[in-house]
Chains A and B, each alone.
Chain A
Amino acid sequence: MTGLTVAATNMPTSSYLGVSLALFALGLIGVLTRRNPIMLLLAVELMLNAANVSLLGFSRHWNNSDGQIFALVVMVVAAAEVVIGLGLVVSIFRQRRGLDVDEMTELSG
């Protein structure tokens, strides 16, 4: 290993989980209070990143790379989610000339 690895051994696992909790709460506020679907997707990205921070914190805690594998899979899932989400946003926008999750009620029966 070369200079890429920063020799960080000081921070306790709890500090990673604290950052993770803060980011997740911010993302949840964004998801629950915004009405623009693009802003919802951005806030969901925040929540996924919060999950990755705690996965990597525990990966370091147990000295085991399984958590890092999990974080990489989460990134792939996030990429797929953004592709489909933005595809839906574009196709809804082209049909109704506006974006507001409150007005998308066709499926509510």
Chain B
Amino acid sequence: MGEQIAFGLAAAGAIGSGILVITVRSAFQAAVALIATLISVAVLFLLAHAPFVAVIQVIVYAGAIVTLFLFVLAYLGERARRTPDRLARYQVFAWLVVLVLAAAGAIVLLTTNLARFNDAQSPSPELGSPQDIGNAFLKEHLLPFEATSLLLLVAAVGAVILAKRAVQSEGGR
């Protein structure tokens, strides 16, 4: 029973703050609402037997990525925060796409005959522990692990080059 309540609260928190992220006018408030979404989703991860992923979610997403957003918003100042209006011309098309997608997803959820889909789950207690994740990463999934490190290196070099160009275009060194 406790799990259902925790799941319900976390799901409501994630969806409610997700609505805030896309509706508030100020980008600053949207970034703060995204933190609430990310922490609610971390609670969902904890309930899905993924404690390690939940901790990484809070540290990397809420701690680093959103902080980077807030830093850039503070750096760009008031003009960037004063967001332009919504895209009025294609609004109908956008809602049509989203409604079709949501309807398709709901049909799949309601008609699937995947085994145990609507039953209570009983995963093994070791699932998602740091030992489990570490073993899986370094024994079975070494190539994706190295590929992500290469991706991070490329992203870091790319960010430095972008920043350097921006400074040079203003006459700096």
> Which residues of chain A have a CB within 8 Å of any CB of chain B?
1, 4-19, 21-30, 32-36, 38-39, 41-43, 45-46, 49, 52-53, 56-57, 59-61, 63-66, 68-69, 71-73, 75-80, 82-84, 86-91, 93-95, 97-100, 102
Contact = CB atoms under 8 A, between A and B. Distances in A.
B155 A84 contact: yes
A71 B50 contact: yes
Given A33-B91, A49-B41, A86-B72, 18 more contacts: A6-B6, A6-B47, A10-B1, A11-B7, A11-B120, A19-B15, A25-B102, A26-B15, A35-B86, A38-B27, A38-B80, A42-B27, A46-B18, A53-B45, A63-B123, A72-B133, A78-B65, A82-B69
Interface residues of B, number: 97
Question: Which of B4, B128, B140 has the largest number of chain A CB atoms within 10 A?
Answer: B128
Given A11-B4, A73-B144, A83 B34 contact: no
Contact of A63 (B73, B117, B127, B136): B127
Interface of B: 1, 3-4, 6-7, 11, 14-15, 18-19, 21-22, 27, 30-31, 34, 37-38, 41, 44-53, 55-57, 60-61, 64-65, 68-69, 72-73, 75-76, 79-80, 83-87, 90-91, 93-95, 97-98, 101-102, 105-106, 109, 114, 116-129, 132-133, 136-137, 140-141, 144, 148, 151-152, 154-156, 158-159, 162-163, 165-166, 169-170
B116 A61 contact: yes
Contacts of A41: 69
A99 B15 contact: no
Contact of A12 (B64, B118, B155, B169): B118
A99 B84 contact: yes
B84 A35 contact: yes
B33 to A, nearest CB: 9
Contacts of A5: 49, 51, 125, 128-129
